[in-house]
Chain A
């Protein structure tokens, strides 16, 4: 019983954390930066895509993300290190990784008609 209680406390602590953080990034701060830098304007508030591509959940690797943001292709404007630092991008990456996966399409009746 005691071990079960410890386990439940652990689960509760995890849930209370909100957005998960990667090893080096702070997802909570990343979420704030995602809004502050206007990433959402093209990619949506949850990175689901819109005028820009879907980038969450399961974003590309952090190094690839930083490289792409510095030298994007297509219509995305470049964000230099002067505009957004590597550290900030690391937090944003953590936020993108923390976005929960959507329900499966087969479980959404509205998407099966």
Chain B
């Protein structure tokens, strides 16, 4: 570390003096009695008067040292220069220097949002990134905090969501103040999550920190966008910046996305124009609102069908070319399938079948051509298997799909003759009719069990839609757990209307990601709504307090099926494979969330969130949702506990 100026004092000098004073106070017989190894008494005894005095009384005069221009001030300036709007964190001593500088030097910019678990911090950042298209700052202890955050980081990595993580650490062993700082120190901060972060670094100076922070941001935001991690050394945070440090923050360049090779794009355009039934399958192709608009333009130019796998809002749900409701038929009919940021192409063109073993069967017609445009091909790691099964394709374009579409659209338009335009017009009409029928079938399917109690997930979704459809709304939760009813029934046409689910399918994502997205939506005045699974909320229910404390407007409807329901079905499958079946009461062992039933309204109320329920009669839903929206429009969160059918 660079030497500090004459008037400046390093953390080491401060700590040595403080430690000397503390040691003198703690050296008495009472302090000895506290040691379980010497006294045989448990370690959880209350502190002795001497210990209490050491921790609470004013330090001796010789211990008082003033640090001017702490390095953390520079770090905060770097964060603000990068436009990191919020800091999501559970407070931790290893980044207390940054915490203090955010408050006093930065004027609470980035704005500190108090989280109750580091998994929440990162999942909230994941949700925010999918709305805003950029990261927020997450701070955590480099050891225990990052360990808590690990699953959420993996989700964000799989979800290609940029998250900017700062991990506090004290690298220099001589600077660690006693037992806890040793326990919370680590030799290689990034190692814990290196397999599922895009890049990490351990800066040794402020100059190094500034450069690595800008580099990290650049890496995080370059497709495939992903989480990055920087260690923030405690000494660097709390000591004075070197007198000759120029406080310069490296310039963040305009970040562009890699677009496809021009020859490959031209070849694909020829294939698309020549195909009889081209089909686009989009998973995360719309990184931004522009991505959605471009895919509409391309599909309409070709009158080609689109399947939206909905890891983002890639294509309007009621567009006549949207064939998502008849995915299998559309895949079977296609003679050219173009995957746009599809992470499981094998799964698109195969059924996995088989009761015990996986027996994949192709569902495509013979001679089908497959093309993939994916930025994932530019960056993969080995250990975690999120890259899915290998699918051989005819043309692979390793590039960002959204960035490639403008050139592809232009190339297609140049190749379209009048004859081809006439042919594709007829194709579009057929697809539009199929899409219309798909919506009708979905509505008919939703009518079954319409008045049932527990409430059907279709009814819940329809009741919610009826009251938000004329608002500027954003569904900030996944829909998989409620049979995708919102995607099947609602008119979704804006990028923020739907955000997709957990990238790594790690449970404990939904509630915090919904809150992070709601934080992003707040400044746009959007009505954020969430359909929240019960098991997921119980992993991260501290977000309820965060939403109340920071007044985050979010309407949450519980999908309370009182179980880890997916696992009930899994258990039943295995029992049948073993030819012994399982009585449902046995099947609930280890899977049901009942006896006692959780009162989610009371849970929310206990943390300051207005709430009601449980509601089991569908006739009560409309009024409850109306009450909830009224509260949310006033700027507060609201939760409605709805007892539901399983899916």
Q: Which residues of A contact B (CB under 8 A)?
A: 35-38, 40-42, 44-51, 54, 56, 72-75, 77-80, 82-84, 102-105, 108, 110-113
Contact = CB atoms under 8 A, between A and B. Distances in A.
Contacts, number: 113
A111 B483 contact: no
B466 A113 contact: yes
A108 B465 CA distance: 14
A105 B646 contact: no
Contacts of A54: 445, 448
Contacts of B440: 105
A48 B646 contact: no
A111 B443 CA distance: 6
B456 interface: yes
A78 B584 contact: no
B569 A111 contact: no
A83 B582 CA distance: 8
Contacts of A84: 581
Interface in B402-456: 440, 443-450, 452, 454, 456
Nearest to B453: A45
Nearest to A102: B447
B569 A41 contact: yes
A46 B572 contact: no
Interface of B: 351, 353, 355, 440, 443-450, 452, 454, 456-459, 462-463, 465-466, 469, 483, 489, 565, 568-569, 572-573, 575-577, 579-584, 587, 645-647
A108 B583 contact: no
B646 A77 contact: no
A36 B646 contact: no
A46 B647 contact: no
Contacts of B645: 44-45, 48, 50
B445 A82 contact: no
A50 B465 CA distance: 19
Contacts of A37: 581, 583-584
Interface centre among A74, A105, A110, by most chain B C-beta atoms within 10 angstroms, is A110
Contacts of B576: 77-80, 83
Contact of B452 (A42, A46, A82, A110): A46
A28 B51 CA distance: 71
19 contacts: A36-B583, A38-B582, A38-B587, A41-B569, A41-B572, A46-B448, A46-B449, A47-B448, A50-B647, A51-B569, A51-B646, A77-B577, A103-B447, A104-B447, A105-B443, A111-B443, A111-B462, A111-B489, A113-B465
B448 A102 contact: yes
B474 to A, nearest CB: 19
B446 A111 contact: yes
A80 B446 contact: no
A35 B587 CA distance: 11
Contacts of A105: 440, 443-444, 447
Contacts of B573: 75, 77
A48 B448 contact: yes
B551 to A, nearest CB: 31
A74 B353 contact: yes
A40 B448 contact: no
